[in-house]
Amino acid sequence: MAEKDAIAAQAATMIEDGQSIILDSGTTVHRLALQLHGRRLTVITNNLAVYDELIGDENIDLMLLGGMVIRDSRMLDGFMAEDNLRQVHADWLFMGACGLRPGGQVMDTTVAEVPARRAMIAAGDKVVLLADKSKLPGTGMVKICGPEDLDALITNAPEDDATCMTLREAGVKVIPTAPTAVDGQQSDLYCR
C-alpha cells in the first residue's frame, strides 16, 4: 500500500484547486482520493470507494456516474455510465489498469469495464495512468488504449523497465515516485 500511496501523492501534486478530475476504478486511484480532502475540486467517478471517501467533504463537488453496480470492483458501469461521460468534460483523468504490455498498451481483464474507460479517456483533457511496478507488464486480455492516448504514467517501476522506455519513446511523460531506501541508501533507479 505504501507504493500505491506514493504514486497517489505524486498524482495529487498535478491537480490545481478549481479543476475537474475523473477518477477511475482501482485501488491506486482510491488512494489518490484520500489525498484530495479539503481541496476545492470537482470529482467525477464511477468508483464507489472514491464516492464513499469523498461524500462527506463539502469542498469537493462530487458527480457519481450512473450504471449497473459491479460488486467485485465496487464500481458503476455499462451504457448509462458511458452516456453520462459523453455529457462531461474534465481537466484530468486518473486511471488504473490491470497491466501494461511491453508495447505500452493499457490492458484490463474485465471486458465489461472497457467501454466506460474509453469514454473517460475521451472526456479528459489529460490522461494519467497510475500503475505500480507489478503492472509492468501486467495482466489483461482487453486493450483499453494505446500509448498515444496517455499523457503521463506515474509509477515506481525501475528506470530501465522496457515498458517505461517504450512509453517515453511514444511521447508519454513517465513520472517517478519518490525513491525508496534500498539497504539504507536512496535509490534513484526509477522511471524519469
Q: Which domain holds residue 169?
A: 2-186
- The pLDDT tens digits for 98-117 are 899 988 999 998 887 889 99
Segment 75-93 shows an average pLDDT of 94
Number of domains making up the chain: 1
pLDDT at 183 over 50: no
The predicted pLDDT at position 26 comes to 85
In a domain, 150, yes or no: yes
Within-domain flag for 128 = yes
- In the chain, what percentage of residues exceed pLDDT 90? 66
Model pLDDT, residue 139 = 79
pLDDT (tens digit, 9 = 90+) per residue, 20-39? 999 998 889 999 999 999 99
Residue 179 has a pLDDT of 53
- Total-model pTM: 0.89
Indicate whether 192 belongs to any domain. no
Residue 116: CATH number of its domain: 3.40.50.10470
Give the 3-state DSSP-derived string for the chain, with helices as H, strands as E and coil as C.
Answer: CHHHHHHHHHHHCCCCCCCEEEECCCHHHHHHHHCCCCCCEEEEECEHHHHHHHCCCCCEEEEECCCEEECCCCEEECHHHHHHHHCCCEEEEEECCCEECCCCCEEECCHHHHHHHHHHHHHEEEEEEECCHHHCCCCCCEEEECHHHCCEEEECCCCCCHHHHHHHHCCCEEEECCCCEECCEECCCCCC
Q: Is the pLDDT of residue 180 over 80?
A: no
Residue 191 located in a structural domain: no
- Once rounded to an integer, what is the mean pLDDT over residues 134-139? 84
